[in-house]
Amino acid sequence: MKITELINQIRNKKSFLCVGLDTDLEKIPAHLLQEEDPIFEFNKAIIEATQAYCVAYKPNLAFYEAYGLQGWKALEKTMAFLNEKYPEQFTIADAKRGDIGNTATRYARAFFEQLHFDAITVAPYMGKDSVEPFLEFKNKHTILLALTSNPGAFDFQTKEYQGSSLYQQVITTSQSYKHAKNLMYVVGATKATFLKEIRQLIPNSFLLVPGIGAQGGSLEEVCANGMTNTIGLLVNSSRGIIYAAKDKGFAQKAKEKALELQQLMAVELEKRKL
Amino acid sequence: MKITELINQIRNKKSFLCVGLDTDLEKIPAHLLQEEDPIFEFNKAIIEATQAYCVAYKPNLAFYEAYGLQGWKALEKTMAFLNEKYPEQFTIADAKRGDIGNTATRYARAFFEQLHFDAITVAPYMGKDSVEPFLEFKNKHTILLALTSNPGAFDFQTKEYQGSSLYQQVITTSQSYKHAKNLMYVVGATKATFLKEIRQLIPNSFLLVPGIGAQGGSLEEVCANGMTNTIGLLVNSSRGIIYAAKDKGFAQKAKEKALELQQLMAVELEKRKL
């Protein structure tokens, strides 16, 4: 998907919400467990209920891999369903992969070509030759971990070296990679105050922002510090939406939670006449 | 597997060779493509041919994920075969995963409990709460990326901050994590000269060393700088063994290549009376 198509979708829906499909058999409503493919049935219901209020879906691969073949089958079905029924949705494989050269190319093909994701999250630790293979794919997007929303982010990411912190180095160094225009970055909402200085490094890049809600980040602060003229933000919510209720009304409740966030987002867009 | 069992196996076989199962349908012998599961048939033949000369197998997950369901099925079969027929082999999921809290736990369960791997490679960028969930599993091993063998390692890993480089910080910081005794580290053979200073930080930890052969690292140098009283090294070779020949004699050729490395390793162990 071209970035302009994503921006148009955001403008049409007045939403920059990404729904995280972290589907866990221990957390989905019990009545779904009788279905042949409970993971897919849950995802389908969540997608149908929320698609009008969000612009992106982000399955976290760990949840699917945890169920082996059954999980992969459910992921394939979910992606086929999304691409057929809601092709306008931006799809992100939250895989946090990072490997070298031809191995990275393998991952890129798996996610971009076999599963038809628009984007994948990638870890920067192994540097250039672990990131560039992903960047080669046209109209596909590589979302590099920069500053994550978890406490462990302070172990290495925020440490200063040679005058700037690691996450800043990741941003500036990666901007010199070939096809860097296909880069986006993960910046946690719990670090909203860092967004101002990140915007000095990358004034226009899209940021994927987890950590709103369950992890305590504020949408207003994220927008105040991170929004650009072309929006530049995808804000993710997973548990707060998909597990808002555990009974038969789970999809309706997910819809309400997505709508709630969409309305807050519409206000932020309106404020800035975007 | 307990670390003592791995060390005993190394002593018995006079080998600390790990064979990388980076199985690629474009590179395996053409006659195997007629089999129902060419990936598994290839792996099985390679394992049968090399198992006497190596102590570990390391499938790189990218190669399996690239083939979707077919790949996962082949991986499951490979692991079932290994665990049933050669339970003494140490098995490493080369996954380079890294995600937070309960998501990391999902990955850990997928690889340790569902696929019964002994170890998994993990990326350190997200810090403590992305690594500790893996360390909780008893007699399972977490192999943290420290200094990798690719050129991109110089993008961030070797950058100095606050007096030491990032990979050194990764090593020292991770040693303070809970259950740190379950940690091993990836250190590329192409950086053998760094091994001396790494051994000052972690005199006893096992290191997984890729980059021998195809990537140009020297076994002798690796041993001179990295070997400990309890060996402390697993040296990986992938392409140099599994793709040594592309014809019907591929398994025999793989055996010869594995034997060649094992004999060099026996010399290194002998030199040090280990």
Using one digit for the tens of pLDDT, what is the confidence trace for B205-252?
999 999 887 667 799 999 999 999 999 999 999 999 999 999 999 999
Task: Please tell me which of the candidates B106, B109, B161 has its beta carbon nearest to residue A162.
Answer: B161
CB < 8 Å to B22, chain A: 103
Rg of chain A over Cα atoms, rounded to whole angstroms, equals 18
Considering only alpha carbons, which residue of chain A is nearest residue B94?
Answer: A99
Mean pLDDT in residue range A81-103: 95
The two three-digit tokens of residue A133, written as one number = 């293979």
What residues are paired with A187 via a beta bridge? A147
Mean pLDDT in residue range B14-28: 97
The answer, yes or no, to whether residue B28 has pLDDT greater than 70, is yes
What residues are paired with A144 via a beta bridge? A122, A185
Considering only alpha carbons, which residue of chain B is nearest residue A124?
Answer: B125
Please, what are the domains in chain B? 3-271 (3.20.20.70)
Q: What is the DSSP letter of B229?
A: T
Q: How confident is the model at residue B163 (pLDDT cuts 50, 70, 90)?
A: confident
Q: How confident is the model at residue A214 (pLDDT cuts 50, 70, 90)?
A: low
Q: Is the dihedral of CA A86, A89, A90, A96 positive or negative?
A: negative
Q: How confident is the model at residue A192 (pLDDT cuts 50, 70, 90)?
A: confident
Cβ(A126)–Cβ(B152) under 8 Å? yes
Residue A145 makes CB contacts below 8 A (sequence gap 6+) with A96, A121, A122, A123, A124, A170, A185, A186, B125, B126
Touching check for A159 and chain B: CB below 8 Å? yes
Verify whether the Cβ–Cβ distance A103 to B62 is below 8 Å. Answer: yes
Is residue A96 among the annotated active site residues?
Answer: yes
Verify whether the Cβ–Cβ distance B123 to A62 is below 8 Å. Answer: no
Q: Which of A26, A65, A94, A132 to mutate to test the interface with B (most CBs of B within 10 A)?
A: A65
The ipTM, to two decimals, is 0.94
How far B133 CA sits from the closest chain A CA (Å)? Answer: 12
Task: Please tell me which of the candidates B131, B148, B173 has its beta carbon nearest to residue A126.
Answer: B148
Kindly report the number of other CB atoms within 10 A of residue A156's CB atom: 24
Kindly report the number of other CB atoms within 10 A of residue B240's CB atom: 19
Verify whether the Cβ–Cβ distance A65 to B148 is below 8 Å. Answer: no
Kindly report the number of other CB atoms within 10 A of residue B201's CB atom: 15
Give the Cα separation of A79 and A86 in Å (integer): 10
What pLDDT score was predicted for residue A225? 95
The two three-digit tokens of residue B165, written as one number = 């480089």
Task: Please tell me which of the candidates B69, B100, B153 has its beta carbon nearest to residue A126.
Answer: B153
Give the lowest-confidence range in A167-176, B98-107, B206-215, B261-270: B206-215
Cβ(A98)–Cβ(B96) under 8 Å? yes
Mean pLDDT in residue range A69-92: 97
Mean pLDDT in residue range A103-128: 96
Touching check for B272 and chain A: CB below 8 Å? no
What pLDDT score was predicted for residue B253? 98
Q: How confident is the model at residue A131 (pLDDT cuts 50, 70, 90)?
A: very high
Q: What is the DSSP letter of B199?
A: H
Give the Cα separation of B156 and B158 in Å (integer): 6
Verify whether the Cβ–Cβ distance B130 to A152 is below 8 Å. Answer: yes
E strand or H helix at A69, and its extent? helix A68-85
CB < 8 Å to B63, chain A: 103, 106
Is residue B53 packed enough to be buried (19+ CB in 10 Å), middle (13-18) or exposed (0-12)? Answer: buried
Q: Could you tell me which of A43, A21, A41, A44 has the C-alpha nearest to residue A33?
A: A41
The two three-digit tokens of residue B102, written as one number = 């309960």
Cβ(A65)–Cβ(B105) under 8 Å? no
Mean pLDDT in residue range A79-89: 98
Length of chain B: 274
Which of A14, A44, A77, A96 is flagged as catalytic? A96
CB < 8 Å to B157, chain A: 125-127
Using one digit for the tens of pLDDT, what is the confidence trace for A219-245?
999 999 999 999 999 999 999 999 999
Verify whether the Cβ–Cβ distance B76 to A66 is below 8 Å. Answer: no
Mean pLDDT in residue range B56-75: 95
Q: Chain-wide mean pLDDT for chain B?
A: 95
The two three-digit tokens of residue B134, written as one number = 């893996």
Mean pLDDT in residue range B255-272: 97
The answer, yes or no, to whether residue B193 has pLDDT greater than 90, is no
Considering only alpha carbons, which residue of chain A is nearest residue B123?
Answer: A125
